[in-house]
């Protein structure tokens, strides 16, 4: 039943079912960061903190 619903949703969105599954998997892993838009990195909260700290270190040097 779940596969049928996913297949119908993919068809309605005019995308492939595997793409829909990938989006769902990304969302489960990264939450709202899954769809970053204009080139932002997909990062977990921990990775985001590390990335921000690295940027601060580079600015200090």
Euclidean distance between CA atoms 43 and 34, whole angstroms: 8
Return phi, psi of residue 3, to 5°: -65, -35
Count of structural domains within the chain = 1
3-state secondary structure of 23: helix
Reported confidence tier of residue 7, pLDDT bands at 50, 70, 90: confident
The domain containing residue 12 runs over which residues? 2-60
Q: Is the pTM higher than 0.75?
A: no
Nearest-CA neighbor of 36 among 50, 26, 49?
Answer: 26
Nearest-CA neighbor of 30 among 48, 15, 14?
Answer: 48
> pLDDT tens, 14-29?
999 899 999 889 888 8
């Amino acid at each position: 039943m779940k596969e049928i619903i996913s297949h119908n949703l993919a068809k309605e969105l005019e995308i492939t079912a595997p793409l829909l599954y990938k989006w769902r998997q990304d969302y489960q892993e990264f939450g709202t960061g899954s769809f970053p838009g204009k080139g932002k990195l997909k990062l977990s909260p921990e990775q985001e903190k590390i990335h921000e700290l690295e940027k601060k270190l580079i600015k200090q040097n």
